[in-house]
Amino acid sequence: MQTSCFWLRASLVLGFMVALSTGCDAAVPLDNPQNIEPPALTRQVPLHFKRHNFEALCYNTIGCTVVYNGHYQVHEAEDEISPPKPAGIGRKAWGSTELDIRNFPKPAEVRWKSKDGVAHVASIDIGQIFKDELIWHNLRKEEMADFYAGPVAGSPDIYLEVDNRTISVYTAMSVPTRDEQIPGNKDSNFRKDIFLVWSRTY
pLDDT at 17: 42
Would the pLDDT of 10 be above 70?
Answer: no
Whole-angstrom distance, CA of residue 110 vs CA of residue 100:
21
What are the tens digits of pLDDT across the range 79-123? 999 999 887 656 666 777 899 999 999 999 999 999 999 999 999
On whether residue 176 sits in a domain, the answer given is yes
On whether residue 160 sits in a domain, the answer given is yes
Sequence letter at residue 65 = T
pLDDT band for position 30 (50/70/90)? low
Distance of alpha carbon 158 from its chain centroid, rounded?
7
On whether residue 121 sits in a domain, the answer given is yes
On whether residue 132 sits in a domain, the answer given is yes
* pLDDT top residue among 33 and 127: 127
Angle at 167 between CA 15 and CA 165, to 5 degrees: 65
On whether residue 150 sits in a domain, the answer given is yes
DSSP β-ladder status, 157-163 and 51-59: parallel
On whether residue 2 sits in a domain, the answer given is no
Question: Do residues 165 and 129 touch, judged by C-beta distance below 8 A?
Answer: no
DSSP β-ladder status, 190-191 and 62-68: unpaired
Mean pLDDT of 164-192: 93
What are the tens digits of pLDDT across the range 44-70? 999 999 999 999 999 999 999 999 999
On whether residue 20 sits in a domain, the answer given is no
- In percent, the amount of the chain with pLDDT more than 70 equals 81
- In percent, the amount of the chain with pLDDT more than 90 equals 70
Give burial (CB, 10 Å; 0-12/13-18/19+) of 105.
middle
Q: How many domains does the chain have?
A: 1
On whether residue 4 sits in a domain, the answer given is no
Range of the domain at 95: 25-201
pLDDT band for position 124 (50/70/90)? very high
pLDDT band for position 29 (50/70/90)? low
